[in-house]
């Protein structure tokens, strides 16, 4: 696996691959890789002939300077994992390369980016959409792979691709979890041992909530119970717990049988913000 850091080098490889008729896939990441990222690489290898992984901690999607500073950076290990997973090319641009002096463009996707993480982190999804669009244009990939753990992010990217007619297919892949249910996340490595034990309360409460809603429980009561359960377990502030339509991300006050719906949440454990979400199981109506 070769590592490149400029668009010119990247395009040289991509041009040669495309000339040979290869379908190119990209897995955009911010590094600090875990099995969840590697499952995206696996999906990319199955659906594309050549796979590019990108590692770029994108400053414009962080609404908080401390979060940007403490975001785990493990490039050497990331490179080893990606090479072993069968990535063909690793693209690691610098901040100066992505945002040179004078850079003045933002992509802002309304609707699906509002509320949830978009409400709690102002400007976050403009930063995500802008960098993802740049990465698509730079890599000229035909397909791109994203994890469903960042459910709202996937919907924002899908909306942007549809609205801007970007010639790329978006493929989302299921959330990977630890044995106890905690969703894999780069942020988990910032949890201490005690926080790690508490963290499992979030997926447990969400799974119970999704089941309750599927069997007709009152939605507001079921969502409120998640807040109470995670707070009782030791979580700090809860940014949101909401039921949303799985495609439009419209808030749902009720969940008639057959509605594709997801319970989505974000909550703090110390200074680590965890997000998770679960599909409401479909019960025949």
Q: Print the binding letters for residues 35-64 with ligand PAF: x by CB under 6 A, - otherwise.
A: -----------------------x--x---
Is 13 annotated among the ligand-binding residues?
Answer: no
Is 186 annotated among the ligand-binding residues?
Answer: yes
Minimal distance, residue 118 CB to ligand PAF, in Å: 13
Among candidate residues 22, 56, 28, the one with its CA nearest the CA of residue 41: 28
Give the separation between CA 230 and CA 232, rounded to whole angstroms.
Answer: 5
Footprint of ligand PAF on residues 147-176 (CB under 6 A)? 150, 153
- Owner of token pair 């034990």: 197
Give the separation between CA 268 and CA 239, rounded to whole angstroms.
Answer: 8
Of 42 and 197, which has the nearer Cβ to ligand PAF?
A: 42
Minimal distance, residue 31 CB to ligand PAF, in Å: 8
Contact in structure between 38 and 173 (CB atoms under 8 Å):
no
Tell me the window of 22-30, 106-114, 158-166, 171-179 that interacts with ligand PAF (CB under 6 A): 22-30
Among candidate residues 32, 45, 30, 135, the one with its CA nearest the CA of residue 84: 45
- Owner of token pair 């976050």: 124
Of 132 and 214, which has the nearer Cβ to ligand PAF?
A: 132
Is 285 annotated among the ligand-binding residues?
Answer: no
Question: CA neighbours within 13 Å on the CB side: how many for 278?
Answer: 23
Give the separation between CA 77 and CA 83, rounded to whole angstroms.
Answer: 10
Choose which of 10, 29, 38, 160 interacts with ligand PAF (CB under 6 A).
29
Q: Which residues are catalytic?
A: 37
Kindly list the residues in this chain that would bind ligand PAF in the complex (CB under 6 A).
Answer: 28-30, 58, 61, 128, 131-132, 150, 153
């Amino acid at each position: 696996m070769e590592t490149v850091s400029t668009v010119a080098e990247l395009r040289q490889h991509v041009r040669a691959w495309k000339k040979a008729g290869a379908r190119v896939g990209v897995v955009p990441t911010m590094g600090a890789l875990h099995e969840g990222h590697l499952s995206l690489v696996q999906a990319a290898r199955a659906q594309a002939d050549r796979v590019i992984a990108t590692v770029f901690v994108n400053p414009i999607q962080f609404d908080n300077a401390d979060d940007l500073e403490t975001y785990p950076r493990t490039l050497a290990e990331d490179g080893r994992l990606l090479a072993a997973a069968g990535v063909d090319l690793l693209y690691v641009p610098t901040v100066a390369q992505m945002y040179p002096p004078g850079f003045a463009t933002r992509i802002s996707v309304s609707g699906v980016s509002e509320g949830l993480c978009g409400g709690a982190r102002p400007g976050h999804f403009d930063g995500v959409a802008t960098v993802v669009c740049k990465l698509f244009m730079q890599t000229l990939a035909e397909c791109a792979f994203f994890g469903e753990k960042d459910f709202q992010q996937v919907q924002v990217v899908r909306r942007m691709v549809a609205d801007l007619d970007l010639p790329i297919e978006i493929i989302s892949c299921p959330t990977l979890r630890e044995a106890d249910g905690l969703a894999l996340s780069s942020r988990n490595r910032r949890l201490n041992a005690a926080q790690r034990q508490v963290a499992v309360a979030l997926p447990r409460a969400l799974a119970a909530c999704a089941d309750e809603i599927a069997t007709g429980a009152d939605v507001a009561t079921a969502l409120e119970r998640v807040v109470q359960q995670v707070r009782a377990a030791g979580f700090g502030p809860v940014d949101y717990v909401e039921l949303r339509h799985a495609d439009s991300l419209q808030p749902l006050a009720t969940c008639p049988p057959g509605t594709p719906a997801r319970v989505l949440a974000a909550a703090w454990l110390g200074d680590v913000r965890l997000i998770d979400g679960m599909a409401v199981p479909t019960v025949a109506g």
